[in-house]
């Protein structure tokens, strides 16, 4: 009886071992499915992404010098004006009452008092654009009212995470995309970086002023913007898909096709440069046109190929 139990146990272990060996062979065959990719010349850009809001660089609220009535409004929203340009005519409360009384006595009396009692002008204090017109002719205004608002130009105030702020500097090239016009790319540059941080949703951020090279006519104050800050860019370099490069004890390596079959491959050590997470720069070990094998199926971490895991992107910032 004891002998029979031993024999049965041996048979079961043999069957289990055979099944495991078959599964491993089948899994390995599936895991080692590759396709060739050629090393080619290209460009890699590394950028820091941030969101922001379009705001006037300098916003001025133009208040009346006297309380009274708007006689004439000479500008419209969106109109560009020059410093010293006449924007509106205002009558004081006394002048408005006097003119109303003269108007009841006839056109000649009205004209007489209009020549004697001149209205007060409202002029532009700087070059800029009228971004708000809050009063119309005939409307009564108080000293606290704001008939007109103007700005010198529109900028984007971007909120940049503190982990990325060290990679930005004044004059850095940027690309602005507005949510309302996502297909339009607006080039710009970093104007200033705030010295004092703010906490937004428990995240420490710094405000960065981004100045468009040219403000497009469709850009409006209050629009949501996405800003891409160019950190690094290389052109005319050898590149490969990130998935083709693997990391082992000896450093970075790739698989090269041995002959015409993708099943026959050899391991080759290489040196890499910058990466954007999708493509990676090859600095040594490969030449343009070399065929590198890229796995169609990811390697099983439990199959003994831990060293052949894809190389992770370098650095710790948000990039694209």
CATH class of the structural domain 68-151: mainly beta
pLDDT at 217: 86
CATH number for the segment(s) 48-56+153-233: 2.40.30.170
* Whole-number Å distance between alpha carbons of 158 and 178: 12
Give me the residue spans of the domains in the chain.
Answer: 48-56+153-233, 68-151
Question: What residues form DSSP beta bridges with 266?
Answer: 256
- The Cα-based distances of 298 to 25, 271, 277 in angstroms read 16, 22, 17
Q: Which helix (H) or strand (E) holds 110?
A: helix 107-116
Question: What does each of the 320 residues of the chain score in pLDDT, given as a tens digit?
Answer: 666 666 667 777 677 777 666 666 555 544 557 788 889 999 998 999 999 999 998 889 999 999 999 999 999 998 999 999 999 999 999 999 999 999 999 999 999 999 999 999 999 999 999 989 999 999 999 999 999 999 888 999 999 999 999 999 999 999 999 999 999 999 999 999 999 999 988 999 999 999 999 989 899 889 999 999 999 989 999 999 988 898 888 889 998 877 665 566 788 899 999 998 889 999 998 899 888 888 765 544 444 444 344 443 333 344 44
Instruction: Tell me phi and psi for residue 34, to 5 degrees.
Output: -125, 160
Among residues 52, 35, 140, the alpha carbon closest in space to that of 90 is found at 140
Q: Among residues 145, 139, 138, 135, which one has the least CA distance to residue 61? A: 145
Let me know: does 154 contact 56? Beta carbons within 8 Å.
yes
């Amino acid at each position: 009886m004891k002998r029979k139990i031993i024999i049965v146990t041996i048979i079961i272990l043999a069957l289990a071992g055979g099944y495991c060996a078959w599964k491993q062979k089948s899994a390995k065959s599936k895991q080692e499915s590759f396709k060739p990719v050629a090393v080619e010349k290209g460009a890699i850009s590394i950028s820091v992404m941030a969101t922001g809001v379009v705001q006037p660089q300098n916003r001025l609220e133009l208040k009346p010098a006297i309380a009274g009535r708007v006689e004439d409004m000479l500008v419209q929203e969106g109109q560009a004006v020059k410093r010293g340009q006449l924007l509106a005519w205002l009558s004081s409360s006394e002048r408005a009452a006097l003119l109303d009384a003269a108007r009841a006595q006839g056109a000649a009396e009205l004209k007489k008092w209009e020549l004697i009692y001149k209205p007060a002008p409202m002029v532009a204090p700087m070059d800029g654009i009228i971004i708000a017109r809050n009063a119309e002719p005939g409307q009564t205004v108080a000293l606290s009212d704001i008939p007109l608002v103007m700005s010198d130009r529109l900028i984007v105030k971007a909120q940049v995470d503190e982990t990325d702020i060290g990679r930005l500097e004044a004059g850095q090239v940027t690309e602005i995309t507005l949510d309302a016009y996502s297909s339009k790319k607006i080039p710009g540059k970093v104007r200033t970086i705030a010295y004092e941080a703010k906490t937004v949703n428990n995240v420490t951020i710094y405000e960065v002023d981004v100045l468009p090279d040219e403000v497009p006519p469709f850009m409006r104050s209050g629009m949501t913007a996405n800003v891409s800050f160019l950190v690094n860019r290389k052109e005319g370099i050898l590149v490969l898909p990130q998935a083709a490069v693997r990391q082992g004890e000896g450093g970075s390596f790739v698989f090269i096709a041995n002959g015409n079959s993708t099943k026959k491959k050899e391991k080759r050590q290489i040196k890499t440069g910058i990466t954007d997470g999708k493509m990676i720069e090859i600095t040594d070990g490969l030449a343009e046109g070399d065929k590198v094998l890229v796995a169609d199926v990811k390697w099983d971490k439990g199959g003994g190929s831990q060293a052949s895991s894809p190389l992770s992107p370098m650095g710790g910032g948000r990039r694209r």
